Chain A
Amino acid sequence: MDIIVCIKQVPDTASLHTLKINPKTNTLMRDTAPAIINPFDENAIEEGIRLKEKYAGEVTVLSMGPPQVEKALRDALAMGADNAILLSDRSFAGADTLATSYTLAEAIKKIGKFDLILFGKQAIDGDTAQVGPGVAECLGLPQITYVRKIEIENGKLRAERTLEDSFELVEAELPAVITVTKEINTPRYPSLKGIMKSKKAQITIWSLKEMSIDSDRVGLEGSSTQVIRIFTPEMRSKGEILQGTSEDVVDTLINKLRERKVL
């Protein structure tokens, strides 16, 4: 069972434990966040490795981005992935989800041999959840999104898909595209030996030229959406700290909530 896991490197905005607010302008001050593997993609990598351990085969991690993304791919190798491919070309920059889906799908066609393609359900920077279905469409494959459990039976895939208030048990032929939620597993820590091996591992890098694809469909040029404005959201203004003994503050709170008709 050969598995391709598509991953994204994202700024770890979650690691910023403090929101700093510029007191003069009341706007958000951002620290530079370290780059990490998108957390849901870690679940996808883990699931890929577990399926490989169960059914044999290889796990290939695939990502698109600048050369720095090698770090994310090496982290995936340290967890136990077998191969890593980075799609890196200046012309890939600025891609929206449509251009990204096309580029990844073309790379997957170039890889050729695969039974399953895994994604995290969404990336924590863009939060779009569009690239998994987008790739599935470009490849004409079945897609099952928000999956919390995968089983393979008689060459068929069975997945539990999470809905708002229930779960669906969905069956599909392989190959298929799956996006996973964090319930599906707990990603393993890399082992020290895995880390050492990953440091020496060879990462395949494909540029536009090596992929021989349509340059009008990648990067900013291939994107149908344009960002025209970026701004910091208005922050809530700081409220009131209730003072007094525990009895007092609880009474005050209940009264205030009643005044606001929240209770």
Chain B
Amino acid sequence: MENIKVILEKCTGCKLCVKACLFNAIEMVDKKAVIKDNCNLCGACVEACKSQAIQISKKSAESRLSGRGSEEKDLSAYKGVWVFAEQREGKVIPVTYELLGEGRKLASLLQEELSAILLGDKLDGVPSELIACGADKVYFASDPLLSHYRNEFYTKVIVDMISQYKPEIFLIGATTTGRSLAPRIAARIKTGLTADCTGLDIDTEKKILLQTRPAFGGNIMATIISPNHRPQMATVRPRVMKRCAKQDSRNGEVINVKPQLSGEGALTEILKVIKVEEKVVDLQEADIIVSGGRGLGRAENFSIIRELAEVLGGAVGASRATVDAGWIPSYHQVGQTGKTVGPKLYIACGISGAVQHLVGMQNSETIVAINKDPNAPIFNVATYGIVGDLFEIVPLLTKKLKINGVRS
């Protein structure tokens, strides 16, 4: 491998890197680490090595860029923090306010402006609300074609705005819309994009955005930078960042952007929007979640989970095993291949706590685990653990909450 090397004099043969590698890409030869071809340069070994014996380097990004003068960008021309104000049916969704809160922090660190990017149609009053919630400026593109998210139109309008106004940082909520839109924009303007960030900061010396996100299902965290491209783009996980307090007296500027769109540019047509008939509780927005796992034994037993959830006014979650077994529809699934949740209270019933599940719920404020196996890994993350038969404990809990009322 050209980009990664082991400095043999420094390598002590301690094998920490071998353990750190998720790809089995390091082996020991004569007590020295050797990087194999299947290395994907993730950098986990560099972090693990106590003797700084592993280095990952590029050929030198600067020389490469200067070698292609035409593509060289004047990075200093890019100023300000942008957040995408996602709206659905005219209503701004909660993550937007979280982005404004976080954007405010970053903008202060950079001593620059915070702007909200709003696309839609008939959104009177929304720009001023965005200003009250932290934006210095609102770039507002209004057009009937933008009323509902359509990738090709949104991408075009935002890319045009970026090339005109040159933001330094652009944050987008990691919603289905955000995660579909951001990579398309990033690929068009050929800039870096970090997905699903849970932590953002500024390296005030170099003035670059430090983007921290979980990877490998939350087994590791990675901090990522995009030093040579602008804007530095990130999608941000909902319910992680703090909103800033709303101040109706805040002043700001609304810049009306005239979108250059025509219906003929459509690549897709939205024929209709189907509302889910069944009352789907959005797990990601729920304050209380009661989840069932393999310990339930069969589909019918989910009834005891539902009963407890109902008494608590919470949502029903499920482990992957139960979804795979067809006991419950997959939109209830919590975990790596399901939803990542962070409620105030998470009650795990008969869930052993495979890594796949834990990464989806360990950010919950309070976790209660009920499992008959005292060695179940779920107890490692539980605030309160009950070792016992869920068929006894859960109905008893439901009964007592019913009789005495949920709130004291």
Chain A residues packing against B (C-beta within 8 Å): 11, 13-14, 16-19, 21, 28-30, 32-33, 35, 39-40, 65-68, 90-91, 93-94, 96-98, 101, 122, 124-134, 136-138, 141-146, 158, 160-173, 176, 181-183, 216, 219-221, 223-233, 235-236, 238-242, 246-247, 249-251, 253-254, 256-258, 260, 262-263
CB atoms of A17 and B377 under 8 A apart: yes
Assembled-state Cα–Cα distance A161/B175 (Å):
13
Determine whether B190 belongs to the interface, using a CB cutoff of 8 Å to chain A. Answer: yes
Determine whether B239 belongs to the interface, using a CB cutoff of 8 Å to chain A. Answer: no
CB atoms of A11 and B216 under 8 A apart: yes
User: Which residues from chain A contact B393 at a C-beta distance below 8 Å?
Assistant: 246, 249-250
User: Which residues from chain A contact B268 at a C-beta distance below 8 Å?
Assistant: 142, 144, 170-172
A-B contact pairs, 29 of them (CB 8 A): A11-B23, A13-B355, A14-B320, A14-B337, A17-B352, A65-B38, A94-B3, A97-B193, A124-B217, A134-B184, A137-B155, A137-B183, A137-B188, A142-B152, A142-B267, A143-B180, A160-B274, A164-B282, A169-B271, A172-B267, A216-B64, A221-B58, A227-B224, A228-B224, A236-B362, A241-B384, A250-B393, A250-B400, A257-B368
Assembled-state Cα–Cα distance A90/B35 (Å):
12
Residue from A17, A133, A163, A241 with most neighbouring chain B CB atoms (10 Å): A133
Assembled-state Cα–Cα distance A136/B219 (Å):
30
CB atoms of A127 and B196 under 8 A apart: yes
Interface string of B117-136 (1 = CB under 8 A from A): 00000000000000000000
Interface string of B261-303 (1 = CB under 8 A from A): 0000001111111111000101010001000000000000000
Interface residue count on the B side (C-beta < 8 Å)? 122
CB atoms of A220 and B41 under 8 A apart: yes
Beyond A11-B22, A254-B400, whether A226 also contacts B227 by CB under 8 A is yes
User: Which residues from chain A contact B218 at a C-beta distance below 8 Å?
Assistant: 233
Which 7 pairs, one residue from A and one from B, show the smallest C-beta to C-beta distance? A94-B41, A66-B38, A224-B192, A142-B267, A14-B356, A130-B183, A137-B187
Q: A28-B219, A170-B269, A239-B385 are in contact. List 13 more A-B contacts (CB 8 A).
A: A13-B356, A17-B355, A32-B24, A65-B40, A143-B151, A146-B176, A162-B176, A163-B176, A168-B274, A223-B192, A226-B227, A241-B386, A253-B384
Assembled-state Cα–Cα distance A44/B196 (Å):
22
Assembled-state Cα–Cα distance A193/B219 (Å):
37
Give which listed residue, B37, B284, B344, B401, contacts A164 with CB less than 8 A.
Answer: B284
Give which listed residue, B40, B216, B267, B385, contacts A94 with CB less than 8 A.
Answer: B40
User: Which residues from chain B contact A98 at a C-beta distance below 8 Å?
Assistant: 186-187, 190-193
Q: Is the interface of A mostly helix, strand, loop or mixed?
A: mixed
Beyond A65-B40, A232-B219, whether A226 also contacts B397 by CB under 8 A is no
CB atoms of A233 and B221 under 8 A apart: yes
Determine whether B229 belongs to the interface, using a CB cutoff of 8 Å to chain A. Answer: yes
Beyond A172-B268, A227-B43, whether A32 also contacts B193 by CB under 8 A is no
User: Which residues from chain B contact A91 at a C-beta distance below 8 Å?
Assistant: 2
Assembled-state Cα–Cα distance A123/B374 (Å):
32
Give which listed residue, B38, B210, B217, contacts A13 with CB less than 8 A.
Answer: B217
Beyond A225-B225, A227-B43, whether A13 also contacts B219 by CB under 8 A is yes
Chain A residue nearest to B392 in the complex (CB): A246
CB atoms of A225 and B176 under 8 A apart: no
CB atoms of B383 and A239 under 8 A apart: yes
Assembled-state Cα–Cα distance A227/B1 (Å):
17
Assembled-state Cα–Cα distance A119/B301 (Å):
35
Give the Cβ gap from B314 to chain A, nearest Cβ, in Å: 11
Assembled-state Cα–Cα distance A21/B336 (Å):
19
Chain B residue nearest to A179 in the complex (CB): B180
Assembled-state Cα–Cα distance A68/B39 (Å):
11
User: Which residues from chain A contact B223 at a C-beta distance below 8 Å?
Assistant: 227-231
Assembled-state Cα–Cα distance A29/B377 (Å):
13
Assembled-state Cα–Cα distance A236/B59 (Å):
40
Give the Cβ gap from B122 to chain A, nearest Cβ, in Å: 20
Assembled-state Cα–Cα distance A93/B392 (Å):
53
Give the Cβ gap from B59 to chain A, nearest Cβ, in Å: 6
CB atoms of A225 and B194 under 8 A apart: yes
CB atoms of B188 and A230 under 8 A apart: no
User: Which residues from chain B contact A143 at a C-beta distance below 8 Å?
Assistant: 151, 180, 184
CB atoms of B366 and A19 under 8 A apart: no
User: Which residues from chain A contact B169 at a C-beta distance below 8 Å?
Assistant: none
Assembled-state Cα–Cα distance A206/B218 (Å):
33
User: Which residues from chain A contact B225 at a C-beta distance below 8 Å?
Assistant: 225-226, 228
Interface string of B365-408 (1 = CB under 8 A from A): 11110000010010111111111110011001100110010111
Give which listed residue, A66, A253, A258, contacts B397 with CB less than 8 A.
Answer: A253
Give the Cβ gap from A174 to chain B, nearest Cβ, in Å: 11
CB atoms of B180 and A145 under 8 A apart: yes
User: Which residues from chain B contact A131 at a C-beta distance below 8 Å?
Assistant: 183
User: Which residues from chain B contact A145 at a C-beta distance below 8 Å?
Assistant: 176, 179-180
Beyond A134-B183, A172-B268, A231-B47, whether A240 also contacts B195 by CB under 8 A is no
CB atoms of B270 and A168 under 8 A apart: yes
